[in-house]
Structure 1
Amino acid sequence: MSTESQRPDPLFNQSLEKGLEVLRAFNAVHRTLTLAELAELTGMTKSSAQRTVHTLERLGYVDKHPQTRRFRLTPKVMEIGYNYLAADALIPVASPYLSQLANASGETANLTEPVGLDMVYVAQLMTAKHVPVLTPVGMRIPMYCTSSGRAYLSTLPDEQVRAMLGASALVRRTPATLTDAEAIFERVVACRSVGYACNEEELFLGDMGVGAPIVNNRGVAVGAVHVSPPASRWTMAEAQKKLGPLVVECAWAISRSIGH
């Protein structure tokens, strides 16, 4: 590590970092937390966690349950995420094409964008058909085992793809999850020739994926579009044959329409 990278950043605000760590500590597993639990999850001292959560409580992002006295997030937290969605120029451009994809495929159409080693749902056009797995806007999914993630990776140089797979925790989410980096790399490379990537029950049982990358006018990937055909209605071969071309067409139309 260089001397430059070891130097403390004089502009880095540790108090803000702690506040964000507290907000991120709450999730589907930890819906409510005690002060001690917050300190343990964030690696803070109890006094530091107390000051941070008190500040967030005063600002309205956290409150305390009147009976259990455990801390929980408030709906005000959603303002931050909504502000991103409202400012994201890709969403209004993609929405009509997602609607067309949902109508043509009969399946829910999704728009995701990269964040680190994950893809995040930023828009979704649902159909009336049963969806076995709930994947709401804001949810993060790992790149290595999803169609949208592999589609995004397919636009990157081989060296960068291998580095990102090497940095990923290749966890077996289901019995079908590929965890061998070389095997995943081969799936990413295959996407370049056919235009779309697949995931067959690798993230959730009963849920598949067919996704294609969205690139801007400089050829840089900015996201991916995918549908999640359930195994109860589709075989992977049927999904590739019928949904693959629809997803590629949708991603191409969005790519052609964006100007950034």
Structure 2
Amino acid sequence: MQSVEKAMTVLSAFHHADGPLTLTQVAERAGIDRSAAQRMIHTLRVLGYIRRDSDGNGFLPGIRLLDHTLDYLRLDPLVRLATPVLQELRTAVRERVDLSLFDNARVIYAIRLQTKRQTLNATLVGHSVPSFCTSGGWAMLSRLSPDRARAIVEASDRRPFTPHTITDVDEIMARIAQTRADGYALAISQILSGEIAAGFPIMDANGDPVAAIHIAGSLAEWTPADFVQRVVPPGQQAARAISRF
């Protein structure tokens, strides 16, 4: 069990890395000594879960990790149910449509359907963003008890992404309360300046929030009122079609 835990810790060292990691960096991020890191990296390289970078100066995640990503996406019943629904939604709204999964303080994107405006992070399945400042995060937090939602917000790293990112706990809770009343979330310039996004919660059979639909557009093309009028009805319909899967 300790070996498995140590392997997961080493693989997790690459979270938020900007490039290849040296042996020392892996050891520091994993919280283990260099000798233990070296042994674990060797084992993971043999298995294909870690590889050398092209310059041979550091390490990167290995190609075998993609096998597990595929297994998750093709076997998860929520992702399988949501995929055709979101494809229809993307055709209807002609804006970026995402499905994120709830992981308390963060949301993790499992489906990304793009428009002509694309950045690398906006195309990657597995990319995560904080719950406290995203439309999908607000949507899912609004379906928790206020006490639990506040606890998640208070425990979050609330560093701003833009000058408009809301970081005050009480103000965030007010947005979550508004989302609860409206049935959808509207986030403006929270993660990316000039972006407007609507979020719609997806509930499981027990009524707990497990995912959210995000629809994102540009303030250069939409007023908030027009965006809400255009995307909220089909977004809510799609969320209802997927909920209680």
TM range (shorter): over 0.9
Unaligned stretches of 5+ residues in structure 2: none
In 1, Cα distance between the equivalents of 2:241 and 2:13? 38
Aligned to 2:118: 131
1:33 matched to 2:30:
no
Could you state the TM-score of these two structures normalised by the residue count of structure 1?
0.88
Secondary structure of the residue aligned to 1:110 is: strand
**Structure 1 residues 133 and 240, CA, compared in 2 at 3 Å: closer, same or farther?**
farther
Which position in structure 1 is the counterpart of 2:225?
Answer: 237
In the alignment, structure 1 segments of 5+ residues that lack a partner are: 1-12
Once the two structures are TM-superposed, the CA of residue 66 in structure 1 deviates from its matched residue by 5.8
Residue 189 of structure 1 is aligned with which of 164, 177, 180?
177
Q: How do residues 137-152 of structure 1 correspond to structure 2 at under 5 angstroms?
A: 137-152=125-140
Question: Deviations 1:18-44 (Å, cap 9, x if unpaired)?
Answer: 211221222564421111111122221
Q: How does 1:1-260 map to 2 (within 5 A)?
A: 13-27=1-15, 29-65=17-53, 67-127=55-115, 129-131=116-118, 134-135=121-122, 136-255=124-243, 258=245
> 1:137 is aligned with what amino acid?
V
Equivalent pair of 1:101/1:109 in contact (CA under 8 Å): yes
CA contact (8 A) 1:131 1:230 kept: no
Could you tell which deviates more after superposition, 66-75 or 40-49? 66-75
Distance 1:66 1:177 in 2: 37
Tell me the SS of whatever aligns to 1:63. strand
Aligned-partner Cα distance in 2 for 1:134–1:45: 32
Q: Deviation digits for residues 86-131 of structure 1, max 9, x if unmatched?
A: 211011211222112111111121111112311111112334x323
2:145 alignment partner AA: P
Q: Is the 8 A contact 1:98 1:124 kept in 2?
A: no
Contact 1:111/1:124 (CA < 8 Å) preserved in 2?
yes
Is the contact between residue 132 and residue 230 of structure 1 (CA under 8 Å) also seen in structure 2?
A: no
Larger radius of gyration: 1
The amino acid that maps onto 2:218 is: P
Give me the TM-score of the superposition, normalised by structure 2.
Answer: 0.93
Percent sequence identity over matched residues? Answer: 34
Change (3 A) 1:134 1:235: farther
Distance 1:161 1:53 in 2: 38
Instruction: Describe the SS at the equivalent of 1:227.
Output: strand
Counterparts of 2:83 and 2:54, CA distance in 1? 41
* Equivalent AA in structure 2 for residue 109 of structure 1: V
Q: How many pairs were matched up?
A: 244
- Secondary structure class of the residue paired with 1:144: helix
Q: CA deviation at 1:65?
A: 3.5
